[in-house]
Homo-oligomer: A and B are copies of this chain.
Amino acid sequence: MGFPGAVAEREHADYAVVGAPLDVSTTFQPGARFGPEQIRRFAASYDDYDRRTDQQFSELGVHDAGDVRAWDDAPEYLEFLGGSLADLVRDDVTPLLLGGEHTVTAAGVRATDPDVLVVLDAHLDLREAYDGNPWSHAAVTRRALDGDPEDEPLATIDGIADRAVILGARTGSEAEWERAERDDVTVVPPEDVSEWTPDLAEESVYLSVDIDAADPSVAPGTGTMEPFGLSAREIRDVVRQVAPNAVGFDAVEVNDRDDGQAAALAGKLLKEFVFAHADPDH
């Protein structure tokens, strides 16, 4: 069951939905492996037509490439997934990744090599490693900035972001907050997101939505709920603003442990991304 409206063939596609059901390092509530399936399912009832941009989703060249089946060796999987995404990028297809745990963003960044990583997340994800694992979801923004760990580098793809903007972040370890004070990181607390506007100029952006950026009332079906988060509209407005500069997008950390709220939001945001990216003047 492909993403609704993703009716383009691969060879004519401008966008490609790719499921990445990795679910090995989830710290608390597992189930991110069912994210791609849930997101596709709960997008079933959305209208094809978008009033704001006066576009039909099904006419925007979105292809659903299915899932890249995951196994439990994260670095190996990231390499493989990153390779698939790089193939898309080479053909000028913008990847729309559906996680899976946040770790999969590493593959997206590798493949798109953006100037900036804009990430919506309750967490800084700036750890050097978590429980000794440098490829944990809790270290993914660090990986995107600082690259491979010494002892477990990926082999073939090596895109990296020059800086990161983390929107909605409200928690992290002391060490993460220290890393966040370096020049290449901007943290926008949840209370300030509604007033944030991007200052991107010509920079290319990879946009990653960790669904736990949202308040748990908005997206309870995620691995680690963190109270005091963003409203759905706040996230949407960030997506609309950033999309025109974006070279890649993902929505991650959705699981099947709520009544569909997290998945419904993630699928909607994917559509908002495509509408705004396809019509940047709106």
Contact = CB atoms under 8 A, between A and B. Distances in A.
B217 A261 contact: yes
A49 B232 contact: no
Contacts of A218: 215-217
A48 B175 CA distance: 12
A252 to B, nearest CB: 16
A37 B225 contact: no
Contact of A227 (B37, B67, B220, B268): B268
A45 B225 contact: yes
Contact of A265 (B45, B191, B227, B233): B227
**Most chain B beta-carbon neighbours within 10 Å: one of A42, A45, A133, A174:** A45
Interface in A216-251: 216-218, 220-221, 223-228, 232-233, 236
Q: Which range contains the number of A residues in contact with the other chain?
A: 35 or more
Interface in A27-51: 27-31, 33, 37, 41-42, 44-49, 51
A253 to B, nearest CB: 12
A73 to B, nearest CB: 7
B49 A173 contact: yes
Contacts of A215: 217-218, 232
Given A37-B1, A56-B174, A216 B261 contact: yes
A16 B66 CA distance: 20
Given A30-B30, A174-B49, A1 B261 contact: no
A90 B226 CA distance: 35
A38 to B, nearest CB: 11
A259 to B, nearest CB: 5
B236 A132 contact: no
A79 interface: no
26 contacts: A1-B66, A23-B30, A24-B24, A26-B30, A27-B45, A28-B45, A29-B45, A30-B33, A46-B226, A47-B173, A49-B171, A49-B172, A49-B173, A51-B177, A56-B174, A71-B131, A72-B136, A191-B233, A216-B218, A216-B232, A216-B261, A217-B218, A226-B268, A227-B265, A228-B268, A257-B259
5 closest residue pairs by CB, A with B: A30-B30, A45-B224, A71-B131, A28-B45, A217-B217
Given A49-B171, A216-B218, 13 more contacts: A1-B1, A28-B45, A45-B226, A46-B226, A72-B131, A73-B132, A216-B260, A216-B261, A217-B261, A220-B258, A220-B259, A220-B261, A228-B268
